Structures are given as structure tokens and as C-alpha cells.
């Protein structure tokens, strides 16, 4: 399968009559082959180089703040690294909040595909009026920050979670701020928390 060309900045614009000439001169960058396996795609993400350092930081510090460019793999890969390292053992769950419902559902779908499971089994999501997760089998759970906040009303210590990831914390929603306050109060009871 032939990969699609991308326009290289600093050359004639895409769609111009000079496209064929630019292609002949080598000014067009070819996209990565789409036939890469999911594992190969995961290994190509920038975050994969820092896997062990991140796991070490999360192990040693109750709060870890991760800053990385959009698309580097923070949201999709960190929960998988944690699960692979045993943070989801003994019935514990890795929670990852998302500020928007669409993000929670689409990221959960992607991670379920990467893990090789059906959405709602090992990887699931919970948004308002929709829970696609299994109480006993789900190990990575994506949810809106409002849904995690509601869980604090029933279980203030959020005891079923080994790691709580507050993703996109810089967006500062009401629920994110409330969750950060609750987590700060209860951090001594938690194994770790993570913000990105």
C-alpha cells in the first residue's frame, strides 16, 4: 500500500502546479506506513523512551506531574505501562479522567484495541448515563472528572483505585479543581496520583 505524501514546509504549497516538481526533487515527506502493528505504533510514540523513568517516578512519589506535547502518548500509554507493571493487580483499577465525554469514550476505545480486549472488559469508560466497564474485570477506566467526583461522594478515599490520573488538569474545570482538592487531602491513603 502506497503511503500518502505530506507537504514539507518551506517548499511550494500543496495543490499547486509545482507539486509534481517538488515530488521529483524530494521535497515531499512520505507518511509512516499504516501497516505497522499496534505494538510497533506504541513503540514509536515519544513517551516510550521514558517508560522506565516514568514508572520509577510514579513508584517513588505520591504525585507525579507529566508534561508532554499532544500526541506523545501520555493518555493512552501511561495507563498501559502501569497495568503492565502490576498497578492493576488484586482487583485495583487505574483511573484516568478526561474533561470531555467524547475524549473518555474515544481514548478508551483506542486503548482497548491496543490491549487487545473488547471495550468494557479490561479497558472501559464511564460517562454520564453510560457505563461501559465491568466492576470485576475492568483494570483501566477512563471517565469524565465529574463521574470520578461523584464516586467520592460514595467512597471519599476512592479505595478501588491504585492510581488516579487527572488528565488535562491545566484546563481547570470545576470538577477538576474539586478532585485536586480531595486528592490532596487524601494522598496519604493513596498509592499514587498523576496529573498531566
**DSSP string over 66-104:** ----TTSSHHHHHHHHHHHTTTT-TT-EEEEEESSHHHH
pLDDT category at 186 given cuts 50, 70, 90 is confident
Higher local confidence (pLDDT), 18 or 173: 173
All cell numbers assigned to 3: 503511503
Does the pLDDT at position 28 exceed 50? Answer: no
All cell numbers assigned to 95: 483511573
- Give the chain's mean pLDDT: 82
Q: What is the reported pTM?
A: 0.76
Residue with cell 466497564: 133
The CATH architecture annotation of domain 39-195 reads 3-Layer(aba) Sandwich (3.40)
Segments of the chain assigned to CATH 3.40.50.300: 39-195
pLDDT category at 87 given cuts 50, 70, 90 is very high
DSSP letter at 159? Answer: T
Amino acid at each position: 500500500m502506497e503511503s500518502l505524501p505530506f507537504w514539507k514546509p518551506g517548499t511550494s504549497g500543496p495543490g499547486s502546479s509545482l507539486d509534481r516538481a517538488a515530488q521529483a526533487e524530494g521535497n515531499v515527506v512520505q507518511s509512516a506506513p499504516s501497516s505497522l502493528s499496534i505494538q510497533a505504533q506504541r513503540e514509536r510514540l515519544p513517551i516510550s523512551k521514558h517508560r522506565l523513568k516514568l514508572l520509577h517516578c510514579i513508584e517513588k512519589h505520591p504525585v507525579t506531574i507529566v508534561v508532554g506535547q499532544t500526541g506523545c502518548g501520555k493518555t493512552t500509554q501511561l495507563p498501559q505501562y502501569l497495568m503492565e507493571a502490576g498497578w492493576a493487580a488484586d482487583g485495583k483499577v487505574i483511573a484516568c479522567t478526561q474533561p470531555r465525554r467524547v475524549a473518555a469514550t474515544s481514548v478508551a476505545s483506542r486503548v482497548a484495541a491496543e490491549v487487545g480486549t473488547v471495550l468494557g472488559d479490561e479497558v472501559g469508560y464511564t460517562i454520564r448515563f453510560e457505563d461501559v466497564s465491568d466492576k470485576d474485570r475492568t483494570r483501566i477506566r477512563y471517565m469524565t472528572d465529574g463521574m470520578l467526583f461523584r464516586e467520592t461522594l460514595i467512597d471519599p478515599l476512592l479505595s478501588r483505585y491504585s492510581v488516579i490520573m487527572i488528565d488535562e488538569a491545566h484546563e481547570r474545570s470545576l470538577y477538576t479543581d474539586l478532585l485536586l482538592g480531595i486528592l490532596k487531602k487524601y494522598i496519604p491513603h493513596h498509592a499514587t496520583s498523576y496529573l498531566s
